[in-house]
Amino acid sequence: MFPSIASDVTERKYVSLPWYESLKPALRGGHEVTLLESGAEFFPALESAIAAASDCVYLETYIYNDDPSGRRMTDALAAAAQRGVAVHLIVDGFGTPDDANPWACALREAGVLFETFRPERRRFALDRRRLRRLHRKLAVIDGCIAFVGGINILDDWHDPKHGRLEHPRLDYAVRVRGPLVAQAHVAAARLWWEVHTVNRSLYRGADPGTKGAHTRLPWWVPSEITPAGRVRAALMLRDNLRHRRTIERAYLRAIGRARSEVLLASAYFFPGVRFRRALLAAARRGVRVRLLLQGKVEYRLPHYGAQALYDELLRGGVEIIEYRRSFLHAKVAVVDDWATVGSSNIDPFSLLLAREANVGIHDAGFARQLRARLDAAIDAGGVPIRLQSHQRRPWPVRLMNALAFLVLRIGLALSGVAGRY
């Protein structure tokens, strides 16, 4: 059932967890964690794992785009389903609104079990529940290997709004082997069953071909927990029930304990008061705090809203670098020997509303590797923001910053989470 994942391991260990297993983060040793930068490294690794699958594949993504990388993934998923692997795919109804396009039809015809999380029925409806999206990017293969990160099924060189890019999008994911995968497997199987059950009960786009054993409640989820390395890691999930602040608290705890460095990269950055205070407190006690943020305007509202916070942070000793070589989509951080890679931005959408998944890694070697990758990105496309130059920005930009900040705060109030932010 499970392919070999480490040739130097002689005794393999397995566990069958109940579907109601706690998804509270549990820091454990015995992991191999491989850093994957952007689609150039992520897609070949995921494609290879799917090609070797013999039992089941779970894949969750916010965006699934019909581009060169998306078509490669479609071929890999379809081939796995055709050879008898139970392939489960969930896309978000807002990030991937059209589930009747050619690639979706091809997947269904191949036998892929396909669901949409909260399908969009009224595109412009004023309902704050529409903000509760599936934003995590999670894949579990045969219960023995997991992929977690910020990379959608979207080509590095293509943007749905801006077309062909001059340079590839910057993003990260990790491939994980070891005990953590069992928890990821439970999370993926549970969400699949939840989404399938809700969609069928509400008659909103459930695939009529997804009947049978693979759609029943998975009372027990079998996984491999063979130690694959020496890295300590924990899976951190955010939902709207029991784990509402898991990822935010992990960030705040790490920043509060920082001794020498905080390096944070976030595509969308609009932190709450507590988060900003934590960054400023770290800078005051002599920690070097650096933020790598979006420099190219992808979406005007979050871009100008983030810039409204620069003055406070720069005055407090925080370094801000805007990445302008291409679009920044990373959601990662290095705090001394702790690192995290995942789907959660530092904004209210990710921290308070969407379903997210990050991996927290306690390992000096991995932290050095991620830090080196981020430093290389800063050298290649980063532009430091100076306090004096920021204060001299043109008045139209200042006006945009103020308006974006106001709109975002109003949006928070209407969403019902402003009091917790």
Rounded CA separation 121/313 (Å): 40
Compute φ and ψ for 360, nearest 5 degrees.
-95, 130
CA dihedral 358, 359, 360, 361 (to 10 degrees): -150
Rounded CA separation 162/141 (Å): 33
Residue of 55, 66, 75, 336 with catalytic role:
336
Please name every residue paired with 172 in a beta bridge, in sequence order, or none if there are none.
37
SS3 418: helix
Residue of 31, 88, 137, 158 with catalytic role:
137
- Residue 162 catalytic? no
Rounded CA separation 407/409 (Å): 5
Compute φ and ψ for 174, nearest 5 degrees.
-130, 145
- Residue 158 catalytic? no
Residue of 67, 92, 99, 142 with catalytic role:
142
Q: Which helix (H) or strand (E) holds 400?
A: helix 395-415
- Residue 135 catalytic? yes
Position of tokens 């290095």? 334
- Residue 13 catalytic? no
Angle between helices 68-82 and 102-110 (to 10 degrees): 20
Position of tokens 């100008």? 304
Compute φ and ψ for 315, nearest 5 degrees.
-65, -30
Residue of 67, 329, 347, 363 with catalytic role:
329
Sign of CA pseudo-dihedral 142, 147, 148, 151: negative
Sign of CA pseudo-dihedral 221, 358, 294, 277: positive
Residue of 135, 196, 243, 303 with catalytic role:
135
Q: For residue 349, give the DSSP letter.
A: I
- Residue 311 catalytic? no
Alpha-helical regions (H) of 87-208: 102-110, 180-202
Annotated catalytic sites, by residue?
A: 135, 137, 142, 329, 331, 336
